[in-house]
Structure 1
Amino acid sequence: MRVAYNEQMTELADMLGVMAGLAGTAMEKATQSLLQADLALAEEVIGEHDQITDLSVACEERAFALLALQAPVAGDLRSIVSGIQIVADIDRMGALALHVAKAARRRHPNHVLPEEVNGYFAEMGRLAVALGAAAKEVLETRDPERAAKLREEDEAMDDLHKHLFTVLMDREWKHGVAAAVDVTLLGRYYERFADHAVEVGRRVIFLVTGKMPSEPEDTGEIN
């Protein structure tokens, strides 16, 4: 019975790692579609999103089956509950990449972003993909020290997000309200993607140590 349980938990962890990898790839492609007004790439992200959704459902089913059939306690219960929560975080990461791709498709053949903010989003995209890869690594290694570093790496994303608002509030902004709304929403998508990657790290720390790190403050509504 114990051997079967361990095998199922390993399979669940592997599935979560695959999900995180897919979310990171989706954000990488979505960013390229955004910066290059590449409709084909945007459609690719949108078409492939079902893979993340299907894995999310499969992971939840696997976790709930373990809860129902194995009656876990203590550390085992913590692992399963953490797994269910991680599924939700990675699912949101995939959904946020999808939002970016849909924005690129909606404005095609025009570019969504004014040229002066392209650099911001190129860097935000790079950071998001790096954080997604780090979340995948943490899920595979269960290294709490590496997991804790995700929060530090997220600070660069927060700084970029704040700087975007200085551009939007500048009197020299000449791109109108629609462009300002697009930039605001897209910036938030990237920030939240990174936040969910950090949350994966927090949950891995809890899974391994039994102690949940303090939650970062966030007053935004997009999750």
Structure 2
Amino acid sequence: MREAYKSKLDGLADELATMCEAVGVAIRKATDALLNADLALAEEVISEDLHIDELRNRAEGNAFALLALQAPVATDLRVVVSAIHAGGDLERMGDLALHVASAARRRHPAYVLPDEVKPYFAEMGKEACQLAHKAAEVIRHPEVNKARELDADDDAMDDLHRHMFTVLMSPDWTHGVAAAVDATLLARFYERYGDHAVAVARRMVYVITGEMPSPLEV
């Protein structure tokens, strides 16, 4: 009986890690679509978001079933509660990747971004993929130090986000208001994606230590 219960808890963690991997692929594809005006890739991200939603629904359903049928306590209860919250964060990461892909589709066949800011978004896309990958590792192999590293890792994303405002507010910006608005919104999507990845990691710290995760502005 206990082995079956433990197997269900492990399965819940595996479902969340699978979601991390899925949203990591989504932001990588969305970034490629954005930088290369690739309509087919943008459509792929948009259609695959339904799969991410299904993964979240399945994980949440399994978590509620464990609450209702097994009445977990202590660490097990923290696992289940954290899984419910983390599923929401991961679904939102998928939605943010969808927003990036939608911007690429909306402007197609034109490029959304001027050439001078593309390297910043390429770097934000790379950072986002790494955050999703690391969050998956933390879920599969919970470790406090590794989970807390995501906070520091996200600093690079925050720095890129702040730097975009410097670029957009510069007198040298010659690409008009529409391009500035697009770049501002897109940079915010990546910054929020990173925040949600950090939120997932903080929930893993809670699972391990029982320390309540501090709130994030996401």
Shift of residue 173, structure 1, vs aligned partner? 1.4
Shift of residue 215, structure 1, vs aligned partner? 3.9
Q: Which residue matches 1:138?
A: 138
Q: Which residue matches 1:211?
A: 211
The Cα offsets for residues 72-115 of structure 1, whole Å up to 9 and x where unpaired, read as 12222111101101101100111100100000000000000011
Matches of 2:212 and 2:125, distance apart in 1: 28
The Cα offsets for residues 35-71 of structure 1, whole Å up to 9 and x where unpaired, read as 0001111011111111100010000100001111111
Matches of 1:103 and 1:117, distance apart in 2: 15
Q: SS of the counterpart of 2:171?
A: coil
Q: Which residue matches 1:180?
A: 180
Written as runs of structure 1 = structure 2, the 5 A alignment for 1:87-126 is 87-126=87-126
Work out the number of aligned pairs and report it.
218
The Cα offsets for residues 106-143 of structure 1, whole Å up to 9 and x where unpaired, read as 00000000111001101111000011100111111111
Q: Which amino acid aligns with 1:152?
A: A
Counterpart check, 1:163 vs 2:163: yes
Aligned-residue Cα RMSD (Å) equals 1.0
User: 71-80 or 47-56: which moved more?
Assistant: 71-80
Structure 1 residue runs of 5 or longer lacking an equivalent are: none
Written as runs of structure 1 = structure 2, the 5 A alignment for 1:19-98 is 19-98=19-98
Matches of 1:160 and 1:76, distance apart in 2: 38
Q: SS of the counterpart of 1:72?
A: coil
Matches of 2:71 and 2:53, distance apart in 1: 27
Q: SS of the counterpart of 1:112?
A: coil
- Normalised TM-score (structure 2): 0.97
Matches of 2:149 and 2:143, distance apart in 1: 10
Matches of 1:202 and 1:71, distance apart in 2: 24
Q: SS of the counterpart of 2:189?
A: helix
Matches of 2:93 and 2:172, distance apart in 1: 33
- Normalised TM-score (structure 1): 0.95
Q: SS of the counterpart of 2:113?
A: coil
Give the fraction of aligned pairs with identical amino acids, expressed as a percent: 57
Matches of 2:215 and 2:56, distance apart in 1: 24
Q: Which residue matches 2:18?
A: 18
Q: SS of the counterpart of 1:111?
A: coil
